[in-house]
Structure 1
Amino acid sequence: MTLIEAATAVVLLLAAAWEWRQFVVHPRDVLAGDQAIAVARTQAVGLTGIGLVVALSLPIEIFKPAADFIHDSFVTNVVWNIAVYCYSACFLIANADESTVATAKRQANIEFLGVMVATGLMYVAVATAPHSPRIAAGASTWQNILYYLGVAAYPVVVWVIGTTRALTKIRRLTHVWARPASIMMVIGVSAMVLGVDGVALLRQGLYIAIPGSKWPVLRTWYNVGRLGGQLLLAVGLVMVPIAGAVYRAKEWLDLRAKERFLHGIDGLWSRLTAEFPHVVLPPVEDDDMDDVETRFDLRTGEITGGLAELAPYCSHQSVSGMDRPDKAAVIISEALARVEQNRTSRWAGDEVYPARLPPYPLLEPDFGGRWRKRAAWMAGVSRVLADTGLGARGRGPEGELRRV
């Protein structure tokens, strides 16, 4: 158990440090501006509190004075109430839209009064009780009831509100990792609230209803909820940076693939844009022409445009097998040859045969939006044209390309 608790404490504190970093060190990393900063701040406070309590509760000699203090002074209960409040407030703000963020933040501030009231109830109970309100003998006293209203009933009520908000937010999540990570965190917090506070309320109710009764099984449920909830919460928190790392790795791999494809499609792009220079797209003012993404999108789009211009010169009534680069290269080269033949005839003053009438065949297969397959096909056609010499052309007076 100690190893699990230690690992959980490390994860919770690292997650808290990450949230603090989001709006303290690198506020621009928070994509949604003021709303996300408020969410990150709320999460950071809650995670810091839980992480410190879990860490200081470990059986480490140097932590013993702090552990004794937070246990004897009921600081743990106050920190836990704040953590559950942060859980609810976090999803309150996250569910707001741009026009209601300020209202949600004001409501979160008002709801913090609940933490103060709960703390006040606990303080009054502890200060006036003749003995600790935790012992079974005092279960029926007003101090005991007051104490557990602040210590256990408050977090259960706030947990119900927060979980309702969380489920609303989760239903709107679309990221493949964000949804399971959020669900795992909700389950973790729920296990902790039900295991710690739910069991505490049930136990006190049984003590009042059946004086002198013992319920050792509730201790087991308490530990299962507390430790299991901490572990599930930590797993959910770990999934978030893992998701970010996976996403960044995928972006890097996609970028490298597009860089390779840029070299692979160059031959087909050069041939088509030489014949149909008007398909070369003008760079958008904000485009960085040294950016791989920009150049890849422009070149593949220009190849598509060039193939559309080439379609009227295709002699085939219906084109089949175009998904095979070797066959596509032959059909494309024949159409290119017809374009060049017409141009040569025009230079010589001979009769120029018109392009075929519509409907025109589709020279580029439909890849269903799968950019890798589309780029691989273009690269394959380009390679066949280069290997067989089908893509060679004479240079006419139109000149060469405007952009390389």
Structure 2
Amino acid sequence: MEAEFYYRGIDKIRQGDLNEAIEEFDKALEINPNFAEAYYKRAMARFDLGDQQGAIADYTQALQINSESIEVYFGRGLARLALGDATGAIEDANQILKINPNQPAACKLQGSAYRKLGDNQAAIASFKQAAQLYLEQKDKLNCRRCLESINQIQQQQILALGRAQTNDFCHQAINKVNTGKYREALEDFNWLLEVDPKNAQAYCYRGIVHCKLRNYSRAIQDLGQAMELNPQDAQVLYHRGLVRIELGDYRGAIDDLTKLLQSNPENRDVLIHRGNAYIQMGDYRQAIEDYSRVITLKPNDAQSYRYRATAREKFEDLRGAFEDYQQAANLYFDQQDWTNYRKLLDKLKQLQPLELTEGSSNQESQAPSNAKPSRELQQRLLRLVGGQSDIATRLLDLAKGKYPGMPEKWYWEKVIKDLER
């Protein structure tokens, strides 16, 4: 009786009606639960429908009834491999080869499973054994397929080795950049980009080398290419900003550096360079603001005081410039940096008469740096805050707390500019 349902299932498989085939095998197994062939065929139908777990369960049931079935081990091995269980597939292939060592399909299954596990040497050995057995059986097609698999693995190994060697070469070239061997590094990066034209890091560092060698247009080209290949690389954006400063594209440099500060607002190097760009544009107030942020982050940074002193001097805040130069000199003295200390002493000698002149002039005119700003500035700020003087006062107090030591006029201009943004 069960045979009738079994053969109906076989017919349904031939007709391509796998679901109805499974129903027929179900009926056969209800009558005879030890019908190994019915489990095997139902497993095949389930596998073809994508139900690998169901297929494995049926193959396993069949093997409990007949543990010497090569076809069932092979079917379960394929299902296990399809589910990513490469180790289970190898176990099934090994069982087949214990039963019959001359089964090329089992060797091929082994090779595919080892390849999935990343064991390329074992995979090549299994594919070679399979190819030899297929050749002895005069199965040229499957023999060729095994040889193609071996070739693919070997090519992947060559590429992986090439990538590793390329990475090592790139690191060696970067070391040359760090040690000032720019010409040698340039030759290395030129070769590297011929071998690997999609290497964003190589474009970035070649751009840095071009910048060091003052080939700014080439530097921009390389950094632009690096940015296309890796838009999220902060290092590329940083160096492009520096090159733009060298090219006189201060607004473009400020845009690049501002983007970096959005993700890392406490990057002192970026703040310094943006401040330098602002100075080149003549926006001394913004430069002072950037240098002040750096000083807040690192109060003992003599160079930052020196930068801010320069900006204040250009802003005609001579008293503030004098104070910053003096603070920088004190820090250089503490650091025993006598070269920079002497330079700043000379600068202070030059600036002191001007600073004193400004102070005496202010006293004579009774318009000290702390005097109220012009009526025009006061009215402008009041208009921006809707005539609310208490709001204006609060904003000025906040600015004074954030940027201490600046002239009164500077605070009013700062608050107005921030409101007008």
Same structural fold, with TM-score higher than 0.5 when normalized by the shorter chain: no
Q: Which protein is richer in helix relative to its size? A: 2
TM-score when scaled to structure 2? 0.22
TM-score when scaled to structure 1? 0.23
Q: Tell which has more relative contact order, 1 or 2 (C-alpha 8 A, sep 6+).
A: 1
Greater Rg over alpha carbons, structure: 2
